[in-house]
Amino acid sequence: MIREAALFLVVLFAATTSWAAEPDGGVPTKAPAPDTTLERYRTPLEALTERPIGEASRAVRFDWRRSRIGFGVLGSSVVELNNFSSARIGGYVRKALGSFMLEGAVSYVHTWGSFATQQLSLTPYRQFARPSRLEVDVNLSYALAEGVVTPRVSFIPPAELVFSVTAGVRYLYYFGSLTGVPAIEVLGALFNPAISDREADNLEGQRLPGMQIARTRYSVLTGFQLDLYLRPGIAVTPRVLLGLPVFSGVPGSGLTFWWELSLGVGAAL
């Protein structure tokens, strides 16, 4: 009510100011050229009034910023744009840091071939891909927009919707790749962005027919995600990530851009 009254007074004052500026006698004179110098700095009144309203209406249904910790399971489809298929399943843990959300996740990725890769294995050609593996992610999200949404069906309670931009780093561990590798090289394998020849040799048995193993150990991803928070703290998170060719300089990296579509379900406490 107070807001509406204030808005009315602002509009009335602007109209009065405009009327008072008319020259006496009402005789029209030649209008001066409009000054647009300040045009780019002007903001519509509606925007000025809606912005504080949006700020004030935040976290009406669930205040995710105040959650101590979140956890859940996630599943993904990895679209590496080759003839191999990969699916991920794993779990995540989250912690809100102001408008940021820090997330750690561990996933198992299963890779399988196709008829095309079977046919490819009959030829002297191979296609870059990654064998089945374990992945460790560290992601950071920043909330771009959020608000309360009202479901169309009545049995779903009103929810808090957060739209975020996400970026993260992913470490890939291949089972058996470090068998017989000296301890000092195992330590190096944690930091070396490329898989060593020794590791690649160990992975030869796990390589699917037609597959040329991509030698990168790390991936950098970015994308967008939606977090739908339902009271008392259920979180549903669809996400789309784009793998960036940050480590494409590694010899034998093979893959450049690739996609990942994932869905996470969990709780925020």
Partner 1 sequence: MRARVLSRSLLLGLWALGAACTKVPFVDINAAFTIADVSWFDDERTMFVFYQVDAEQGLGPDSLIELRYRTDDVFVDWTPLEQLPAVHTHLPADCGPRSKCGSWSLAVDKVPREVALRLRYHRSGVLSLNADVAFNAIGPGPAHLVRSLAVYGVFDETNTRVQWRARHQFPTIRNEQATALGLRRQFTISDVGHGQLGPIPSDNLYGYAVAPVCPAGFTPLPWEPRRTTDRAFFEPLALPLAASDSDVLCAAATVTDALGELTVAAIARKNPQTKPAFPLLRSPIRDADPVGWVLRPCNRVINDAHLAMQVQRLQLEGAPTLCTDDFTSTDFVTRLTGELKARIDRLRTPGRDLVLVFAVHRDDTTGRLNRAIESVLEQVLVPERDKSTPRVVGAFLFDSLSWRLTSPTLKPLVLWCPSVRVTMADLDLVQASSEQDCPLQPDAPPLNLGPFSFTQLPILPTRPQYENFVMKYSDANTGRVTKLWFRAPERSAGAENLLVGEAGVVTRLNTEVVAAAEADAFSFCAPADEAGTASVGRIVAQPINPLGAIEPVSTLPRRHQESPSTLYALGLIWESPFLVKMEFETRVAGAATALGITVPFGIAGNGERFLGEEQWRQETFPLADALTQCTRWCDHPTFDSAGVYQPAAPFRLAFAQQCYRPRFPVPTGGGFPDDP
Nearest approach, Cβ of 134 to partner 1 (angstroms)? 22
Nearest approach, Cβ of 142 to partner 1 (angstroms)? 18
Residue 227's nearest CA partner among 165, 161, 168 is 161
Number of residues that bind partner 1 (CB under 8 A): 27
CA angle in degrees (0–180, nearest 5) for 145-150-151: 115
Q: Smaller CB distance to partner 1: residue 67 or 253?
A: 253
Decide: is 41 part of the binding site for partner 1 (CB under 8 A): no
Q: Smaller CB distance to partner 1: residue 93 or 200?
A: 200
- Counting every residue written for the chain, the total comes to 269
Residue 226's nearest CA partner among 243, 240, 205, 209 is 240
Decide: is 196 part of the binding site for partner 1 (CB under 8 A): no
Decide: is 207 part of the binding site for partner 1 (CB under 8 A): yes
Sole binder of partner 1 in the list 78, 109, 255, 268 (CB under 8 A): 255
Site string for partner 1, 50-89 (x = CB under 8 A): ------------------------------xxx-------
DSSP state for residue 194 in the 8-state scheme: B
By CB under 8 A, which span of 69-77, 133-141, 156-164, 201-209 interacts with partner 1? 201-209
Between CA 208 and CA 132 the distance in angstroms is: 10
DSSP state for residue 81 in the 8-state scheme: S
CA 254 to chain centre: 24
Query: Any bridge partners for residue 181, and if so which?
Result: none
Q: Smaller CB distance to partner 1: residue 162 or 194?
A: 194
Q: Residue 45 to residues 2, 16, 40, 50: CA-CA distances in angstroms?
A: 16, 17, 14, 9
First-to-final CA distance of the chain: 35
Between CA 89 and CA 73 the distance in angstroms is: 8
Sole binder of partner 1 in the list 258, 262, 266, 268 (CB under 8 A): 258
Sole binder of partner 1 in the list 90, 131, 168, 254 (CB under 8 A): 254
Residue 231: both structure tokens together: 């009271």
Name which of residues 166 to 185 contact partner 1 (CB under 8 A): none
Sole binder of partner 1 in the list 201, 238, 249, 269 (CB under 8 A): 201
Name which of residues 108 to 147 contact partner 1 (CB under 8 A): 120-129
> What is the binding site for partner 1 (CB under 8 A)?
80-82, 120-129, 200-201, 204, 207, 209, 212-213, 242, 254-259
